[in-house]
Amino acid sequence: MHRFDERFLHVDMDAFFVEVERLRNPRLIDVPVIVGGLGRRGVVASASYEARELGVHSAMPIGEARRLCPNGRFVPPDHGSYLKASERAFALFRSFTPQVESLSVDEAFLDISGLRLHYATPLAVGEALRAEIRNRLGLPASVGIAAVKFVSKLASDSAKPNGLLLIDAGKERAFLHPMPVRRLWGVGEATHAALESLGVATIGDLAAIPEDILVKRLGPSLAAHLSHLAAGEDLREVEPGEGAKSISVEHTYDNDLQSSDEVARALLRLCTRLAGRLHRAGKAGHTLTLKVRYDDFATTTRSETLREPIAAGSAIWDESKVLLERAQIGRRGIRLLGVGVSGLVDAAAPQQLTLEPSSRTVAAETVEKVRKRFGDDSVLPASLIVDRPHKGRGE
């Protein structure tokens, strides 16, 4: 029997949003397609390979994509249908093995060691998976297989589009070392610049550089991590995980928000959307975070951890207003607002069922009392004091 040394399989859907659009609109087949925000400040979310040949890539401003690809078909994103396609894809992955770790809507790691009795080789698993995805979902996908987790991801990347690549156990370094270091999972723009300044261009260069030099530039944690990856070492396992850790919504406005009235209305809309998302997920969260991006792109966040988790739109709105005050928005225009919740708990958790008024309700009532007694001028400082949950407020 084959030893199944190569037990990590990474599956990645090709140009996922574009291919889902093509399923319902065949006229998009064989022509350059760009899915992305069509507004003034839109960017490319997904580009077909025909468009990529012309230089279009994801995260590119939509205006530049139009210049590079004037004859392309530009399609606004429909996240609902991508989510449905994603759920079908993941159901299919799990029909092979429950050992599935989701990385995003369109990619996953599978530990296929449990399939050794059903398939002759790891390669046969990859071929079967790709065939099932193509036949059942009508979508192209690429698969990488390796004995080392992150190597399987680089293998699927090298196999794109619509391909399969297995890296034999023991051959990892030969595969990795010629590659640009930027392709390593975790080396982004900033780390790449730091590595470049050390004369590191390829993964092989990275493997050759003494770790203490790396530590000085990148810190001990990242340096050790990258040294291991460059040596083809990665002890991480496939971790199925238990769902999202935070839920957030944000929006970039076509025109900067200027008046406090505009800002308030926009924030209220976001809070309502967030409450809807939480409700559908059956979740509530302990920590609320407000995100503000100004017209100069400077971005700031303000957050507060509450004693009781929140989920209701009205509670999120009340707390968001407090955070907005704390963000000290001056005369600057605002291009983006966001609200999110982390420290998630099930909305059906016991504290939600209690008949006691939540401390949030108590706080809101206190604000109301202060407002009535002392007038509107007192409201801002009063709410700032009352909403600080650790300053011994009476229950």
Whether 107 is a known active-site residue: answer yes
Query: Does 185 interact with DNA (rule: CB under 7 A)?
Result: yes
- Choice between 12 and 172, CB closer to DNA: 12
Query: Does 252 interact with DNA (rule: CB under 7 A)?
Result: yes
Q: Of 65, 71, 69, give the one whose Cα is nearest residue 37.
A: 65
Q: Of 148, 298, 348, 322, give the one whose Cα is nearest residue 235.
A: 148
- Choice between 178 and 188, CB closer to DNA: 188
Please choose, out of 20-28, 84-92, 218-226, 366-374, the segment that lies near DNA by the rule CB under 7 A.
218-226
β-partners of residue 100 are 110
- Choice between 202 and 303, CB closer to DNA: 303
Query: Does 266 interact with DNA (rule: CB under 7 A)?
Result: no
Query: Does 245 interact with DNA (rule: CB under 7 A)?
Result: yes
- Choice between 115 and 141, CB closer to DNA: 141
**Per-residue x/- track, 120-159, DNA (CB under 7 A):** ----------------------------------------
- Choice between 166 and 306, CB closer to DNA: 306
- Total length of the chain: 395
* Residue 182 CB partners (closer than 8 Å, separation 6+): 192
* Residue 216 CB partners (closer than 8 Å, separation 6+): none
Among 135, 221, 259, 328, which residue sits at the site for DNA (rule: CB under 7 A)? 221
Query: Does 37 interact with DNA (rule: CB under 7 A)?
Result: yes
Among 45, 125, 137, 207, which residue sits at the site for DNA (rule: CB under 7 A)? 45
* Residue 321 CB partners (closer than 8 Å, separation 6+): 264, 267
**What is the spatial distance between Cα 257 and Cα 265, in angstroms, rounded to a whole number?**
10
- Choice between 177 and 326, CB closer to DNA: 326
**What is the spatial distance between Cα 378 and Cα 353, in angstroms, rounded to a whole number?**
33
Nearest approach in angstroms of CB 289 to DNA is: 7
Among 184, 203, 263, 311, which residue sits at the site for DNA (rule: CB under 7 A)? 184
Query: Does 222 interact with DNA (rule: CB under 7 A)?
Result: yes
**What is the spatial distance between Cα 314 and Cα 203, in angstroms, rounded to a whole number?**
51
Cα–Cα distance list, 84 to 35, 156, 157, 169, 305 (Å)? 17, 23, 24, 36, 33
DSSP assignment string, 290-316: EEEEETT--EEEEEEEEEEEE-SHHHH
Query: Does 64 interact with DNA (rule: CB under 7 A)?
Result: yes
Query: Does 251 interact with DNA (rule: CB under 7 A)?
Result: yes
Query: Does 246 interact with DNA (rule: CB under 7 A)?
Result: yes
Query: Does 304 interact with DNA (rule: CB under 7 A)?
Result: yes
Q: Which one-letter amino acid corresponds to residue 35?
A: V
Collapsing DSSP to helix, strand or coil, 342 comes out as strand
How many residues of this chain interact with DNA, rule: CB under 7 A? Answer: 58
- CA 281 centroid distance within chain: 17
Query: Does 102 interact with DNA (rule: CB under 7 A)?
Result: no
Q: Are strands 8-13 and 107-111 parallel, antiparallel or unpaired?
A: antiparallel
Among 25, 71, 299, 361, which residue sits at the site for DNA (rule: CB under 7 A)? 299
The one catalytic residue in 107, 172, 308, 319 is 107
Q: Of 31, 23, 79, give the one whose Cα is nearest residue 53.
A: 31
Among 305, 352, 366, 378, which residue sits at the site for DNA (rule: CB under 7 A)? 305
Query: Does 235 interact with DNA (rule: CB under 7 A)?
Result: no
**What is the spatial distance between Cα 163 and Cα 168, in angstroms, rounded to a whole number?**
16
- Choice between 60 and 362, CB closer to DNA: 60
Q: Which residues are catalytic?
A: 107
The residues that touch DNA, with contacts defined as CB under 7 A, are 37, 40-43, 45, 58-59, 61, 63-64, 67, 103-107, 184-192, 219-222, 244-252, 277, 286-287, 296-297, 299-305, 326, 335-336, 338, 340, 342, 390
